[in-house]
Structure 1
Amino acid sequence: MELPWGPIAVRIALGSQESPLLASISAIVITIMVVISDYLEIKSIKFRKLVDGEPIILINNGKLLDYNLKKVKITINKLLMQLREKNIFNIDDVALAIIESDGELTVLPKVNKQPITTGDLNISTNYTGLMSDIIVDGKIMYDNLKSANHDEKWIKKQLKSSNVSNVENVFYAGLNA
């Protein structure tokens, strides 16, 4: 969280009379304060907690911590809404619900309510990686096409199989690696 240096700087700079000297001094002071606060935020856990706050647990093992709800001023209705947005419809299904310092709710479902993954079933899968842009605004991205071990002939064949006659008619085409 950034400190509100802008409004402070304007008040100091304008002061009771408009003076170039006062404006210069104000700018220097504000710059020094920003540099110091940025440094302290990086180096000091206590300063970071003071400025950013820290996460607060709202639900622990299916139990509402009402004193923490009051502390962060969140109603039960708002908490339930945020849980539903995360596809949690029962408080008993929550191992931990934490309100982060930025106001976002982080939810860890209980183990028996978490979705099954391929790792849980010991099934190996291939990593598909990020999608590579192959055509953008009707233009072939040759570097990406080459990185995917394909050429212009291959892309034209793919387009033809999709009944697209001209690359310029394609707004976007991507390829999973």
Structure 2
Amino acid sequence: MFTVLIRTIILYLIVIVSMRLMGKKQIGQLEPFELAIAIMISELASLPMQDTRIPLIHGIIPIVTLLVLQTILALIQLKSEKMRSILSGKPSILIKSGKIDINELKNEKFNINDLMEELRLQGYYDIEDIEYALLETSGQLSVIPKTKLSNVTKSDLNIKAKQDSLPVTLILNGRINKENLKIINKDETWINTQLKQNKISSIKNVFLALMDSKGKFYYQCYENKDNK
């Protein structure tokens, strides 16, 4: 009895430490590979707890191995946008300009009832009031309402407002995303000009640069926390 108690405490602490090292994410926000690792860790920990014939080390080694694997995959995703896309996928646009993308719903196995429920939970009842609805890689639904209907001020005061658009990542970890440059009809000459205007000597110094929802150039460098 005492042996089972000690084994349970040890495995419990190992699982807590492992999950803590995986980062501060809620279960609903875990990427697919992170959720798979979390489930496997819980299963591996439960076996030595229930069966004292299984050496404790046989439960600890696989848990540590999975933790190392998760850490390596997380680091790879930080360095490579392509690998992040392969491992975690990309957000899917389910609604654009007030219209549902039926094909995207089918691809994501997301039925209309689930979509409407998610919209209601976020306080949106009319699809035509939504500019974008994105299904994130974590399974969460992000909603961008039409600008004239966001809160009260602009529509009620008859202020003309330019419609917000989706932010577009241009530089990540010191590397230019050429495909995204094409999306906004820009080239590398333009982005180099933006960097010079902001007194940035090299693209490699840029942690993140994007075209925000207002059409403005935003950046953040490695060496400091300054951004615009």
TM-score (norm 2): 0.41
Residue 86 of structure 1: how far off its partner (Å): 1.9
Shift of 1:63: 1.0
SS in 2 for 1:112: helix
CA distance in 1, matches of 2:114, 2:58: 48
Equivalent position SS for 1:98: strand
Q: Note the 1:1-177 alignment, pairs <5 A.
A: 1=31, 2=34, 3-4=36-37, 7=40, 10=44, 30=66, 32-117=68-153
User: Matched residues, percent identical?
Assistant: 31
Q: Aligned letter for 1:74? A: F
Shift of 1:36: 2.4
Instruction: Give the Cα–Cα distance (whole angstroms) in 1 for the partners of residues 61 and 137 of structure 2.
Output: 34
Inter-partner Cα distance in structure 2 for 1:85 and 1:99: 15
C-alpha distance in 2 between matches for 1:103 and 1:24: 31
Return the letter of the residue paired with 1:92.
Answer: E
Instruction: Considering Cα pairs closer than 8 Å and 6+ residues apart, tell me whether 1 or 2 has the greater RCO.
Output: 1
Q: Which moved more, 1:62-71 or 1:48-57?
A: 48-57
C-alpha deviations, 1:75-105, integer Å up to 9, x for none? Answer: 1111111112222211111111111111111
Structure 2: gaps spanning 5 or more residues: 1-30, 49-53, 158-228
Would the aligned equivalents of 2:37 and 2:66 in 1 still touch at CA under 8 Å? no
Secondary structure of the corresponding residue to residue 133 of structure 2? strand
How many pairs were matched up?
117
| 8 Å CA contact retained: 2:37, 2:70 | no
Bigger CA radius of gyration: 1
**Which residue of structure 2 aligns with residue 169 of structure 1?**
none
> How does the TM-score come out when normalised to structure 1?
0.51
| CA–CA distance in structure 2, aligned partners of residues 90 and 26 of structure 1 | 49
**CA pair 31-74 structure 1, distance change in 2 beyond 3 A:** closer
Question: Greater helix percent: which structure?
Answer: 2
Report the Cα distance in structure 1 between the residues aligned to 2:65 and 2:123, rounded to whole angstroms: 49
Q: CA deviation at 1:113?
A: 1.5
Structure 1: which 5+ runs fail to align? Answer: 122-177
